Amino acid sequence: MRKLTQRKAVDYTSTVVRYMQIRMSQRDSRDRTVLQPTPAAAIDMLPAAGYSDNPSTSFTAKFVHTSLNKNRCPINRVLWTPTGRRLITGSQTREFTLWNGQSFNFEMILQAHDQAIRSMVWSHNDNWMVSGDDGGAIKYWQNNMNNVKANKSAHKESVRVLSFCRTDLKFCSCSDDTTVKVWDFARCQEECSLTGHGWDVKSVDWHPTKSLLVSGGKDNLVKLWDAKSGKELCSFHGHKNTVLCVKWNQNGNWVLTASKDQIIKMYEVGRNLWTKKGEEQEAAKKEFIEAIKLLEQELGDKTYFGGDKLGFVDVALIPFYTWFKGYETFGNINVEKESPKFIAKYK
């Protein structure tokens, strides 16, 4: 007779129920009960969302389980379902595998694409998932994993990353064919193709609130794009190897970039010029123009700030100059008109 063994499981529902019970009566961490370091205090434990003031609760510090499929193969993408109960993996063998998030066993294997799956993303309303493969195809999936639409010629090469805008009316994709594309979600039709990268585009992300895209690629560049007009706003030359990942922060004021050169960089995206409105934006424009005019005054008739040779200020201004096009677009200003001598020197 086969010996019965207890299967390991993780039941997170009790912490979520507890969190829902107390979140109406507690304002923030000031009203929260202190968690005692005893086994009996486990019933008072909350999910990570309940400790927003303490990011350390989100660290995955304990190994729980290894799940293996019948056919071992490379896993290219991993994505939780919106409910958090199941995990979806996209494999080199063109399959989706659904795994139970509590008991860790697989529930379903689905032949999803004709080539290896490279990208998957859920819409913000959690109703749709979009996936891309090595052949350049993009497919739409419902919550029940029913395929409703497919565009098999979306890109000429592998679709690396997909990202939705906040309203879910549009999404963007990047590919090894050197392009970033903006799509109308309802029609699954291309709206514009953004060209400017000199090699494979490895990552793209849509701004949390605006029609602004950031992309990074094998040409070591990070680029900002206007999703409406399809124009390139500026480029960052901060990395010495392939840019593998780019990401906006939650309020859209900062961009994080990660590269094969083993460096993570953070860029501030002139937030006051394109996140503020009315008087606040006018004040930001005035401050920016005053700073440019001060630099123009200091430069005078000299070739460089350092005299006849490049100085520290000259070198520091090079990456900032690439932002000017973005400032002009979103701040509705003309930098060349305000400081013609300064722009003429650095054009």
> Residue 170 has which token pair?
């549009």
**pLDDT, tens digit, 9 for 90 and up, residues 281-311:** 676 677 677 777 777 777 777 777 777 777 7
How much is the pLDDT for 171?
Answer: 96
Contacts of 54 (CB under 8 A, 6+ apart): 29
Which amino acid is residue 62, in one-letter code?
A: K
Comparison of pLDDT for 19 and 187, the residue scoring more: 187
Once rounded to an integer, what is the mean pLDDT over residues 16-20? 82
| E strands present in the chain | 75-80, 86-91, 95-100, 106-111, 117-122, 129-133, 138-141, 147-151, 159-164, 170-175, 179-184, 189-195, 201-206, 212-217, 222-226, 232-236, 243-248, 254-259, 264-268
User: Is residue 194 within 8 Å of residue 181, measured between CB atoms?
Assistant: yes
Q: What's the predicted TM-score (pTM) here?
A: 0.72
Q: What confidence tier does 257 reach under pLDDT thresholds 50, 70, 90? A: very high
**pLDDT, tens digit, 9 for 90 and up, residues 193-232:** 999 999 999 999 999 888 889 999 999 999 989 898 888 8
Domains of the chain with CATH codes: 13-58 (no CATH), 75-271 (2.130.10.10), 273-346 (1.20.1050.10)
How much is the pLDDT for 9?
Answer: 66
Which amino acid is residue 195, in one-letter code?
A: T
Q: What confidence tier does 22 reach under pLDDT thresholds 50, 70, 90? A: confident
Please provide the size of the chain in residues: 347
Determine phi and psi for 287, rounding to 5 degrees.
-65, -40
Determine phi and psi for 184, rounding to 5 degrees.
-85, 120
Once rounded to an integer, what is the mean pLDDT over residues 180-186? 95
How much is the pLDDT for 67?
Answer: 85
- Long-range contact set of residues 16-25: C-beta below 8 Å, sequence gap at least 24: 16/47, 18/43, 18/44, 18/45, 18/46, 19/46, 19/47, 19/49, 19/50, 22/46, 23/50
Least confident of 39-53, 73-87, 173-187: 39-53
User: Is residue 18 within 8 Å of residue 46, measured between CB atoms?
Assistant: yes
